[in-house]
């Protein structure tokens, strides 16, 4: 029997063709909600899901009696109910590694753009307001030689730190649940408590995954510990930060600037003051958004779902405990 999958994100014909060679594919190029009647109908028969950006609730799984595997086109899997999936023996696969360097590039882009006020100054030129040589009021702040504080020191965090330490001669501090001796040797990184990192870092960069433990990890107290000259960068998930505390910290000058790729609500509400602040660089969640990397992520997801539904171990499996319970 041909297995059925639902693909619910934009995929190129090349990736869709690979899926169609093996599976019956119900394709939803854009899907606003899992309440979509067509999606619900397809879900009742689906063995696999490939997609991103939609929250899959535990209750939704009751409508997916044949579901065996999900391949998310993302490294983050906070949109998925991992425990409920594991209990049901449904494999959850993600796309680590292939997006590490691109996402680390985005982190460094935000560090540079905020420190050197690149967007604000480019806008000034675009408006025709470059009428005299630029003076102190428009100067930025150096990145090289400063202290970079990494909150989270996994693959992407290490990528940002590598750029800082090796490219810009930065001192690297990191706060992470486990020590990383190899990175300490490679980059001279020093592990410290979060509060100490916040007090010392010139650039605070968040790369932790979103979990119950990291939700609002950075709030009023933490912004209060940062230097008034600190630049805060978030390339992880918006909900790791208490956004109203961030807005207050920026407004009160508790911190100097922020570079943000992620927000508590995405797309960002038109009411949010953040993109209107001159000391904020706000990007529309594009950490991994290059042609090369998004293609590689899609390919990884295609490979993951194909392997999983053919009874083979996927390349990147989130819930190891579910492995073995799949009946091909
Ligand atoms: C995703 C991301 O592409 O991989 C992640 O976790 O945040 C992005 O790279 C984004 O979630 C859209 O799917």
User: Bridge partners of 104?
Assistant: none
pLDDT score recorded for residue 325: 65
CB 94 within 8 A of CB 328: no
Whether the CB of 288 sits within 6 Å of ligand 1: yes
- 156, 208, 260, 288: residue to mutate for ligand 1 pocket, most atoms within 8 A of CB: 288
User: Measured between alpha carbons, how far is residue 307 from residues 4, 48, 314, 326 in Å?
Assistant: 14, 11, 5, 11
Phi, psi dihedral angles at 92 (to 5 degrees): -120, 120
CB 43 within 8 A of CB 23: no
**Residue 285 is a catalytic residue:** yes
Specify the pTM.
0.96
pLDDT score recorded for residue 80: 98
Of all atoms in ligand 1, which is nearest to the CA of residue 103? 9
The Å distance, Cα 19 to ligand 1 centre, comes to: 21
Whether the CB of 96 sits within 6 Å of ligand 1: no
pLDDT score recorded for residue 326: 52
Longest dimension (CA), the chain: 72
CB 111 within 8 A of CB 203: yes
Angle, helices 13-22 vs 291-309, to 10°: value is: 0
Whether the CB of 75 sits within 6 Å of ligand 1: yes
Whether the CB of 73 sits within 6 Å of ligand 1: yes
Phi, psi dihedral angles at 218 (to 5 degrees): -110, 115
Give per-residue pLDDT as tens, 242-254: 999 999 999 999 9
pLDDT score recorded for residue 205: 99
Whether the CB of 100 sits within 6 Å of ligand 1: no
Give per-residue pLDDT as tens, 84-107: 999 999 999 999 999 999 999 999
The segments of the chain whose pLDDT lies below 50 read 327-328
């Amino acid at each position: 029997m041909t297995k059925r999958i639902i693909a619910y994100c934009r995929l190129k014909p090349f990736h869709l063709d690979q899926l169609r060679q093996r599976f019956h594919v119900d394709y939803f190029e854009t899907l606003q909600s899992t309440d979509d009647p067509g999606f619900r109908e397809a879900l009742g028969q689906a063995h696999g899901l490939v997609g991103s950006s939609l929250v899959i609730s535990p209750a939704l799984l009751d409508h997916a009696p044949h579901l065996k595997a999900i391949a998310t086109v993302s490294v983050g899997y906070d949109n998925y109910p991992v425990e409920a999936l594991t209990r049901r023996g449904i494999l959850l696969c993600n796309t680590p590694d292939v997006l590490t360097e691109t996402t680390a590039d985005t982190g460094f882009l935000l560090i540079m753009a905020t420190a050197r006020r690149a967007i604000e100054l480019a806008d000034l030129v675009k408006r025709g307001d470059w009428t005299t040589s630029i003076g102190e009021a428009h100067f930025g702040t150096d990145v090289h030689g400063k202290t970079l504080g990494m909150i989270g020191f996994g693959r992407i965090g290490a990528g940002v730190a590598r750029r800082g330490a090796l490219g810009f001669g930065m001192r690297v501090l990191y706060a992470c649940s486990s020590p990383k001796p190899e990175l300490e040797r490679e980059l001279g990184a020093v592990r410290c408590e979060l509060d100490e990192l916040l007090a010392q870092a010139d650039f605070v960069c968040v790369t932790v995954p979103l979990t119950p433990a990291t939700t609002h990890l950075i709030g009023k107290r933490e912004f209060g510990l940062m230097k008034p000259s600190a630049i805060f960068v978030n390339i992880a998930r918006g909900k790791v930060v208490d956004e109203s505390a961030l807005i207050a910290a920026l407004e009160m000058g508790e911190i100097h600037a922020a570079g943000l790729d992620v927000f508590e609500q995405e797309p960002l509400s038109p009411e949010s003051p953040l993109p209107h602040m001159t000391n904020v660089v706000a990007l529309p969640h594009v950490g991994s958004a290059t042609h090369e990397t998004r293609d590689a992520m899609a390919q990884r997801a295609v490979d993951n779902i194909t392997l999983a539904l053919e009874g083979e171990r996927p390349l990147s499996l989130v819930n190891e405990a579910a492995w073995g319970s799949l009946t091909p």
